Amino acid sequence: MLARFICITMSLLLAAPAAAAEFQDDLKARRARVLERLGPESMLILWSAPVRTYSNDVEYEFRQDSYLYYLTGIDQPDTILVLMPGNRQHKEILFVLPPNPVREHWEGHILTPREATETSGIATVERTGDFEAFLAGVMSRRGSGAINAQEAQSFFGALENNRAKVALLLGPAPRVGAEITEPYRFVNRLKERHDGFTALDATPIIDGLRQVKTAYELTVMEESARISSDAHMAGMRAAKPGAWEYEVEAAIEFTYKRNGAFDWGYPSIVGSGPNATVLHYNASSRQMRDGDLLLVDAAANYKYITVDITRTYPINGRFTPAQRDIYTLVYQAHEESRKMAKPGMVVGDVHQKSVDVIKQGLLKLGLITDTSGDQYRIWYTHGSNHWIGMDVHDVGDYRRPLEPGMTFVIEPGLYIRESALENLPKTAENAAFVEKVRPAVQKYRDIGARLEDSYVVTATGLRNLSERVPRTVEEIEAFMRTSAPASR
């Protein structure tokens, strides 16, 4: 026992700095790719996320902006990153808050410049309060501190020749009459004072990189998926007739925290009975009844990486025949699409496969009368794929073909809401349709089911990161049986 304890402690001591160095190396490589794509005549500026108010003088826990974290690893407000690829030495400049004993007494430690360098691997660290003076110095070609005329010759020359680019996360241009977003306001202010430059949207450059995960990111994602998978199984153990949805949610989120996951990657969805048909049901306030199906969509934010997992299961351990019909169809749609997915395809192809399977199945169950059109959309109301990563709905172009290292979910779902029929436009055709499907809708009324797993694209297909969480009818029923209340 003791020997084992010492072993664990030793390996932890050795593992921690190695992981930190690995992260720092990865951050450097990420920035190197951004520097290369930006080119020598540009300057990129990235800001940290704002601190947001919860209520009155209480703030939400700070969550760093994904882009800034992707390139710096700094989890602290009032941080700014500047990249100047054409500079001789100081291509990367980080602005962080200065030490402040009073503020640190209230809010905790602020990274010293040295610690900021150790985390990010960026050698040049300045104070956030000096950023405006730095910007004015650089844009007027006077220079600022180490960034003098010799150091920034390339960017200053570009300013002189009207070729400089100031790169920001601009996003799409605001529509005429719409409110101007912060990055565009910044560009407008900069243009009032300086010239020689145009604004460049750096979003596609960084999104393109974030879309293909690094080896380090995949390691973190595997761990994130392991924690979230364990959390789902803890939730399954907590689910039983008479228990409340929030008890399942508590079991899930307890598992995140006790495994070192910062928080959820998105608010947990724990919907039983009719709540399973509400796509983003967040209340978790219903008491579950014998015979209910429970839909749980939840995953942790672990080191700023989240996967996305949904399971649907009968809380008493046994699917009713109607629940089994719907769940099995969702399962088949999932399996057929995951089997065909491989590099070179676009995710739209994967989704289409699930649509084909769902259409055939719905026709058989009597929930639609025609597979040629969009009738299936009454019950299959969302897309079944999105990228995952730092954001649960991660950035990236959906037209880009799949390649190894990309990560995404497959998540077909069916939601039988009787009210969907009443919402159809009142036409003769729809009236005939409603009459035909009414008996099936009554049979399957209030059943909602989704099956979602998180995948990494490999050279030949997909690897399922959340496979351990019971998925088939048999696996689910066996798991719920062995974790039945008597043996819990």
**Interaction site with Mn ion (CB under 5 A):** 308, 409, 411
Output 335 or 411, the one with its CB closest to Mn ion: 411
Backbone angles phi, psi at 407, to 5 degrees: -135, 130
Instruction: Give the separation between CA 240 and CA 291, rounded to whole angstroms.
Output: 10
Instruction: Give the separation between CA 211 and CA 202, rounded to whole angstroms.
Output: 14
Output 128 or 337, the one with its CB closest to Mn ion: 337
Output 239 or 388, the one with its CB closest to Mn ion: 388
Smallest separation, CB 452 to Mn ion (Å): 5
Q: Where are the alpha helices (DSSP H) in 166-214?
A: 182-193, 203-210
Smallest separation, CB 384 to Mn ion (Å): 9
Output 69 or 408, the one with its CB closest to Mn ion: 408
Smallest separation, CB 208 to Mn ion (Å): 22
Smallest separation, CB 381 to Mn ion (Å): 13
Output 48 or 275, the one with its CB closest to Mn ion: 275
Output 409 or 451, the one with its CB closest to Mn ion: 409
Tokens matching residue 38: 């930006």
Residue nearest to Mn ion (CB): 308
Helices 203-210 and 2-38: angle between axes, nearest 10 degrees: 150
Tokens matching residue 260: 């070192």
Smallest separation, CB 280 to Mn ion (Å): 11
Residues 6+ apart with CB under 8 A from 170: 183, 184, 187, 199, 200, 201, 202, 203
**Residue among 107, 90, 96, 100 nearest 129 (CA):** 96
HSE value, Cβ hemisphere, 13 Å, CA-based, for 237: 16
36 three-state secondary structure:
helix
Environment class of residue 442 by beta-carbon count within 10 Å: exposed (0-12), middle (13-18) or buried (19+)?
Answer: exposed
Element of type H or E holding 94: strand 92-96
Smallest separation, CB 335 to Mn ion (Å): 17
Single-letter amino acid, residue 190: L
Instruction: Give the separation between CA 445 and CA 322, rounded to whole angstroms.
Output: 9
Output 124 or 384, the one with its CB closest to Mn ion: 384
Q: Backbone dihedral region of 141: left (phi > 0), alpha (psi from -120 to 50 degrees) or beta?
A: left
DSSP 452: B
Smallest separation, CB 482 to Mn ion (Å): 28
Instruction: Give the separation between CA 119 and CA 23, rounded to whole angstroms.
Output: 8
Instruction: Give the separation between CA 328 and CA 447, rounded to whole angstroms.
Output: 13
Smallest separation, CB 168 to Mn ion (Å): 29
Output 223 or 297, the one with its CB closest to Mn ion: 297
Tokens matching residue 472: 């088939």
Smallest separation, CB 160 to Mn ion (Å): 49
Output 46 or 469, the one with its CB closest to Mn ion: 469
Element of type H or E holding 431: helix 428-444
Backbone angles phi, psi at 255, to 5 degrees: -65, -35
Output 298 or 362, the one with its CB closest to Mn ion: 298
Smallest separation, CB 313 to Mn ion (Å): 17
